[in-house]
Amino acid sequence: MSRPPTYTPLPTSELDADEESSLFADEDQLEDHYTTNTTNKSRTLRASSRSKKHLAFVLLSLAVVMTALVRGAQHLVRGFRMRGCHTGLGGSRNQSTKFANGGGLTTHFTLPSGDKIPSVALGVWRAEKNLVGTAVKAALNVGYRHIDGAWIYGNEHEVGNALKANGIARDKVWLTSKLWNTFHAPEDVEPTLDESLARLGVEYLDLYLIHWPVAFYKDGKKYDRELTANPYPTWQKLEEMVEKGKVRNIGVSNFNIPRLKNLTANPLKVKPAVNQVELNFWNPQPELLKWSKENGILLEAYSPLGSAEQVKKTLAVPEIKEIAAAQGMTPAQVIISWHVQRGSVVLPKSVHCDRVKENFQVAALPQDAFDKLEKAATSHAPQRVVNPSKSWGLDFDVFDD
């Protein structure tokens, strides 16, 4: 809103009192002059004041109207983007029945605990504030039964409110959260977990992950070298959360093979069930995928279409476009299906209802198409986007072997 302009009084006569008095023959004329002049000045000032007040009112009114128009346009755009969220999610790009029942792909992976984790989840990282809840409701209506979040995302309360509004039974939806770097000290693990549970409005998590293999001190400016080098004390506390029933499965995120070997070399009561990592066409990590399968750890793919900076480039890859055209799928569906077919859980993120539905529609690719895409993805140098080592001021690279 524009700030109303300030005003200064009109200037007085350029003549001072003595010069002005000499123009008149006597005091009566002088008094009459002052009376008349003062009255005229007063009228002029009042008229000018009224005019300026009117101008200020007009400007203020215009500012209010413009603000209302801008906000209305923003709501209209949001409403358009979220179209279909309350009307059966219309507007999907592909309505083919080929996607029914997972389209021939596995709909769940079995973890060491025996729990079955849905293969496609709604990710809420980088999701716009106040749109997360609508996206979660849309996802649940489409058929998603897996929501992947984290304490640091700052939107767990929105997810929790959406779950409550939907009314879905707790045991029908898989919920994942993550322990942030500043809470790796064993005494901080349970209070932080309790905070996530309270925000989500649930009594337990299906999966709880160590978000990064870096333990920060509370000030967030330095890292705990000992706890970073050996996360076993943190892991022991996570095992305790399993014993207490606050968590059903535990795992890690952004761990490479040496870090996984380092952790699993300890006498673990509960093995890491999952490792959530950046996994996409530009950073396919075939060695990590192979090693994880051999060691009973399920990979989860975040940024599965490429990070925000890469999505457009991903969807334009010739091999992906060719497979999409041949299979009657969108490029995004081809990529998401490829992830599941590789044997990883996939976490596409969107707050657009039509894309939420599109991303859930997966189907098995013919073997020759799958092999073609796998070859294309693994034939170029890997391009990792998510690496906060420098921005965190670390004296090492999180992903170095």
179-200 average pLDDT score: 98
Q: Which two tokens stand for residue 275?
A: 């490792």
Q: Phi, psi (5° rounding) for residue 283?
A: -140, 70
Residue 289 · residue 344 · CB < 8 Å: yes
Assign residue 396 a region: left if phi > 0, alpha if psi is -120 to 50, beta otherwise? beta
What total of structural domains would you count in the chain? Answer: 2
57 lies in the same domain as 138: no
Q: Phi, psi (5° rounding) for residue 3?
A: -80, 130
Q: What is the CATH number of the domain that holds 184?
A: 3.20.20.100
Residue 230 resides in a domain: yes
d(CA 235, CA 43): 82
Residue 63 · residue 71 · CB < 8 Å: no
182 lies in the same domain as 55: no
Residue 398 resides in a domain: no
β-strand partners of 110: 116
Residue 314 · residue 282 · CB < 8 Å: yes
Q: Which amino acid is at 293?
A: K
376-393 average pLDDT score: 95
Residue 312 · residue 280 · CB < 8 Å: no
228 lies in the same domain as 115: yes
d(CA 318, CA 341): 20
Of the listed ranges 83-92, 287-296, 335-344, the one predicted with least confidence: 83-92
Residue 221 resides in a domain: yes
Reported as a single tens digit per residue, the pLDDT across 306-332 is: 988 899 999 999 999 999 999 999 999
Q: How would residue 294 be classed by pLDDT, with cut points 50, 70 and 90?
A: very high
Q: Which amino acid is at 361?
A: Q
Residue 351 · residue 127 · CB < 8 Å: yes
Residue 38 resides in a domain: yes
Residue 91 resides in a domain: no
Active site residues: 153
Torsion of CA 81, 127, 197, 115, to 10 degrees: 90
Sheet holding 146-148, edge to edge: 122-123, 146-148, 174-179, 207-210, 250-253, 274-278, 298-302, 345-346
Does pLDDT of 69 surpass 50?
A: yes
134 lies in the same domain as 163: yes
300 lies in the same domain as 336: yes
Residue 329 resides in a domain: yes
Does pLDDT of 153 surpass 60?
A: yes
212 lies in the same domain as 324: yes
Q: Of 205 and 93, which is predicted with more confidence?
A: 205
299 lies in the same domain as 337: yes
Residue 111 resides in a domain: yes
In the numeric block, the tokens 């309360």 are attached to 157
β-strand partners of 280: 283
Which has the closest alpha carbon to 292: 117, 104, 111, 107? 111
Of the listed ranges 51-60, 117-126, 273-282, 301-310, the one predicted with least confidence: 51-60
78-92 average pLDDT score: 44
Does pLDDT of 220 surpass 60?
A: yes
Residue 394 resides in a domain: no
37 lies in the same domain as 161: no
The pTM for the full model equals: 0.78
Q: How is 183-197 classified by DSSP, letter by letter? A: G-SHHHHHHHHHHHH
Domain with 60 in it: 17-80
72 lies in the same domain as 150: no
182 lies in the same domain as 70: no
121 lies in the same domain as 38: no
d(CA 119, CA 139): 14
d(CA 133, CA 163): 8
* Helices and strands (H and E) in the chain: how many: 14, 10
Q: Which two tokens stand for residue 70?
A: 């801008």
d(CA 46, CA 39): 10
d(CA 401, CA 398): 9
Q: Phi, psi (5° rounding) for residue 387?
A: -150, 95
Residue 201 · residue 163 · CB < 8 Å: yes
What is the end-to-end Cα distance of the chain in Å, rounded? Answer: 54
Does pLDDT of 369 surpass 80?
A: yes
75 lies in the same domain as 112: no
